A and B are shown apart, each in its own frame.
Chain A
Amino acid sequence: MIQVTNLHKRFGAVTAVEDVSFRAEDGVVTGLLGPNGAGKTTTLRMLYTLIRPDKGSAKVDGLEVAERPLEVRRAIGVLPDARGLYPRLTAREHIHYAGELHGLSGAALDRRIGELVELLDMKEIADRRTEGFSQGERMKVALARALVHAPRNVLLDEPTNGLDVMSTRAVRTLIRRLREQGHCVVFSSHVMQEVAALCDRIVVVARGRVVADGTPDELRARTGKDNLEEAFVTVIGSDQGLMQ
């Protein structure tokens, strides 16, 4: 469960996040939707402890991120904005390394790696070095690395960016499965169709503020538009950045 209250962050003269509050429940997929530069990535970075908020609070399972970063990192699995791999290590070694850094080892870790290889359908690439992997294969490694410690809360920053149709489908399947298992899933996207296809709850962010928050139906009702896309354009106030 993630609770964000009045988060604020500025870099020098630029205010990246003005005032963001939302709540993401367990067993629910929450989408952060907004144009590029709206503050989605900065919000997520504050949630996953790599940026300190200037003001406001962010709690993961009741733990304040700024105060207990190590515990928060144990409670979350993150696909960050940067998802680089080590070209000289195999996919399996990547997952293994992340597992060790989460304190896993031995047979338990090997079993978990086996599960993830199965779940993400990466048997063929598991023992290949990641140099030369396709975008989709790289994404699978990054996701497996993020989920190795079976975190309750999963944060995904633009998880389908740059993926082909097949890989996008695989990611969507994974997100649905995480929801079924009762995880709290938060993912950000600037692609409206992506959010519409997956989210139980949509938080629309623009210029560092939450401009709308609710289920797709609530959004349609609030804006008086039948079409979700029209609804977004209305709440954001422009159609900039919402196109694929």
Chain B
Amino acid sequence: MKALLSAVFRKEMRDHLRDRRSVTSVLGGSLLGPVIFAVMFTVVASWNRQDKPLELPVVGRAHAPSLMAFLERSGVRLSEAPPDYESRIQAGTLDAVLIIPENYGKEFAAGRSATVQLVMDNSRNKARFTIRRAQLLLNHYAGLLGTQRLMARGVAPELAAPVRVEEVDLATPERLAASLLNMIPLFLVISCFMGGLNVAIDTMAGERERGSLEPLLLNPVQRGTLVVGKWLATTVFSCTMVVVVAVAFVLVAKRVPLQDLGVKVSLDAVTAVGMMGAVLPLALLASAMQMLVATFARSFKEAQTYLQLLMMLPMIPGMALALSPIQSQMWMYAVPVLGQELLVSELMRGEPLGVAPFVLSTVGCVVLAAVCLAAISRLLSDEKIVFGRS
């Protein structure tokens, strides 16, 4: 029994290690996520660099000397706006331009609301940070002057501000980081489904399509042994991908300027081991599910189509978690995919997790994987599956 299992496993490994498509999809596919991650964070970090002084081109500086003085005192670098500033803002080479109209001084002196214009393109993410800083400074200046005017007329400034909004940001840097890093659990879960994809299809649908299933079933071996041997080989591929992805994320996280975003995240070797412990059981289940689908499919192509749809499955809880973070409950860990995504994001947030969530997520996956494998063994005794349906 053991020797037979090992014979099936070794044959499948040898066969698929020689398959360039299986091997490159594991190695190439696993680097995709970390690379996107690295690029995204480097770019975001460069937008948000805090220490850069605010550059603000101004049209009509001479019309508001006191405002200009205030801005300069606040560390803003003022400059003369180029004549074609509108097209430059649209092109993205300028973030924002301040316009002081000619009648600013007259309105101001008369005690009316003097208008200034902040020209910007709100659809540009890159400019958003500059715009927000400029708006804050201008509002601050307006508030300052308003207070002075009220006081000059003997009115308490509090009367003009019945409600004051104070922002209290409860997100610890680690929590903020985790919300930005939500893509890591998603990528890890997807790797469970990507790594063994080609092997799962080839070993079931491919086996039948090239006519080698009938000779294989003729050997004096239980169907279950064949299925488990094939499954073990498939899981080796999907687990390899999970490990490569986890390691790559940790290596990338070390080089990406996460600190510039004001976030800290625990992505060290210990977290990486925890992430693997959380996600690897899902690789066992994903392989079994994919083999089951590939056994049903009439052809290699059909299996590919079904399995690409199956890949959408891990996206659903991933998206839901990204959009509205939920308070995790114990039972959720036992739900495959959802449990793994929760576990990984909590690991990255640096929350202390007991053993129980890991055990639950493993049990959930292993039980379902066993059900899938039993179903495949039954299907292989079905004449319609073995000899094809019309």
Contact = CB atoms under 8 A, between A and B. Distances in A.
Interface in A78-102: 78, 80-89, 93, 97-98, 100-102
Contacts of B153: none
Interface in B1-52: 3-4, 7-8, 11, 14-15, 18-19
Given A50-B386, A51-B383, A98-B219, A81 B214 contact: yes
Contacts of B216: 101
A225 to B, nearest CB: 37
Contacts of B8: 101
A239 to B, nearest CB: 28
26 contacts: A50-B217, A50-B383, A50-B387, A51-B383, A51-B387, A70-B220, A70-B221, A73-B219, A80-B215, A82-B214, A83-B214, A83-B215, A84-B213, A85-B212, A87-B210, A89-B14, A89-B18, A97-B7, A100-B3, A100-B7, A101-B4, A101-B220, A103-B3, A145-B215, A146-B215, A146-B218
B325 interface: no
Given A73-B219, A98-B219, A101-B221, A88 B212 contact: no
B211 interface: yes
Interface string B183-221: 000000000000000000000000000111111111111
Contacts of A89: 11, 14-15, 18
A176 to B, nearest CB: 24
B18 A102 contact: no
Contacts of A103: 3-4, 220
Contacts of A51: 383, 387
Contacts of B211: 82-84
Contacts of B222: 70
A238 interface: no
Nearest to B8: A101
The 8 closest A-B pairs by CB, nearest first: A84-B211, A82-B211, A101-B219, A100-B7, A84-B212, A84-B210, A82-B214, A73-B220
A181 interface: no
Interface of B: 3-4, 7-8, 11, 14-15, 18-19, 210-222, 383, 386-387
A23 to B, nearest CB: 22
Query: B-side binding surface: helix, strand, loop or mixed?
Result: helix
Contacts of B218: 48-50, 73, 78, 80, 146
Interface residues of A, number: 33
Contact of B18 (A49, A81, A82, A88): A88
Interface of A: 11, 45, 48-52, 70-71, 73-74, 78, 80-89, 93, 97-98, 100-103, 105, 142, 145-146
Contacts of B213: 82, 84
Contacts of A78: 215, 218
B11 A97 contact: yes
Contacts of A145: 215
Contacts of B18: 88-89
Contacts of B386: 50
Contact of A102 (B19, B212, B220, B387): B220
Nearest to A82: B211
Nearest to B18: A88
B211 to A, nearest CB: 3
A116 to B, nearest CB: 15
Given A100-B3, A100-B4, A101-B7, A142 B220 contact: no
A69 to B, nearest CB: 8
Contacts of B219: 73, 98, 101-102
Contact of A93 (B3, B14, B214, B220): B14
B299 to A, nearest CB: 14
B268 to A, nearest CB: 40
A142 B8 CA distance: 18
A41 to B, nearest CB: 10
Nearest to A80: B214
Most buried by A among B4, B19, B216, B386: B216
Nearest to B6: A100
B21 to A, nearest CB: 11
Given A70-B222, A80-B215, 16 more contacts: A45-B387, A70-B221, A80-B218, A84-B212, A84-B213, A85-B210, A85-B212, A86-B212, A88-B18, A93-B14, A97-B11, A98-B219, A100-B7, A101-B4, A101-B8, A146-B215
Contacts of A142: 215
